[in-house]
Structure 1
Amino acid sequence: MEALRPKGAPDAGLSKSALYRAARAGEYDRIARGIYRPADAPAADWDWIEAATRRTDATICLTSALAIHDLTDTIPDALDVAIPRGARVPATQAAISWHLFAKATFDLGRTQIPIPGSELQIGLYSPERCIADTFRLRGDLGYDLGREALRQWLRRGGKPARLIAIAARLPRAEGPVLQALELLT
């Protein structure tokens, strides 16, 4: 079952107060402020559910996306989630690091994936987009993260032409990506 919010409780046949009583009785788990799931629902990542519930355009990015694609050994402290620049950053209880990406390039390399154990979906950037972003934001993320991910991606048969095509569309990414590719290939 999908995450339930108090304003959607009538659609599930409950009043708001009945939802709160059911949560106190243990029939629903409180994921975050205003987000509930049935207690017998399959296991799911509550951070992903909260991000997807708060913002329908939430997209897993940077270190978190690289970890999902198995391109880094780094374990992120918080879930990295991108939203379009100019959007309101929601208040969350989960360990979510919100990043504002330019509206013009926000959908570049973005796909929707199902959240395991839930009916919700969340966005995820492609490996090429993640690598380009790590080079673009290397001052904040560190220089080694992008190089490590690029090495892993190339070992798996990644196509440099696809990476360069994406990096060319992102500001401050093409030069560093080309330079790293020259060194590694």
Structure 2
Amino acid sequence: MKALRPKAAAEKRSALYRGHADGRWERIGRGVYLPADAPAMDWDQIEAAARRPEATICLISALAHYDLTDEIPDALSVSIPRGMRAPATEGAIRWHRFDATTFDLGRGQILIQGSSQPIGLYSAERTIVDCFRLRSVVGYEVARDATKEWLGRGGKPAELMSIASLLPRAKAPLLQALEVLA
């Protein structure tokens, strides 16, 4: 089940708004509606995916998805290509802009749990490298601990280094952490 926006509604906008007033549609964000009988799902992810099809879960939110951190994200971290405007949202969403040339590196898609709405998700390797690259945002300790957990699960340092060599400001701090952890 995908979110519905008034522009994309098969029915007229007025019918959608009447359905909302009658309780058939539930407004989860400005201009984003779900059927009232929809199963439980993450509304922040639904809103991000409905507003930007290229929205990709990143940083601490992606680490939490892979169970590589004990941190509880206070907002959903979502990346979009640099140059795109971050949409206004009502949910707890933190928008990040990543370079458009490397945006798709390590990017996959998942279905939002309880819906048929897809959203982008970076691989665990790309997420760890991004956390080192943006360590001033997420904290060096978070990146280091995620790397330690990932290595403990059988991850290969070469996989991290191959991605880090393609992203700016990531290779040196990652190499230092790998030397300490090895």
**TM tier, smaller:** over 0.9
Determine what percentage of the aligned residue pairs are the same residue: 63
1:149 maps to 146
Corresponding letter in the other structure for 1:97: R
1:126 maps to 123
Aligned pairs for 1:34-183 within 5 A = 34-183=31-180
Deviation (angstroms), 1:143: 1.3
Deviation (angstroms), 1:142: 1.4
**Runs of 4+ in structure 1 displaced over 2 angstroms?**
none
- 1:16 counterpart = 2:28: no
Q: What is the TM-score of this pair, normalised by structure 1?
A: 0.96
Q: Secondary structure at the match of 2:110?
A: strand
- Unaligned 5+ segments in structure 1 are none
Q: What is the TM-score of this pair, normalised by structure 2?
A: 0.97
Deviation (angstroms), 1:8: 2.0
CA distance in 2, matches of 1:15, 1:100: 34
Corresponding letter in the other structure for 1:158: G
In the comparison of the two structures, how many residue pairs are matched?
A: 182
CA distance in 2, matches of 1:80, 1:115: 15
- 1:5 counterpart = 2:28: no
- Unaligned 5+ segments in structure 2 are none
Corresponding letter in the other structure for 1:159: K
Deviation (angstroms), 1:58: 0.2
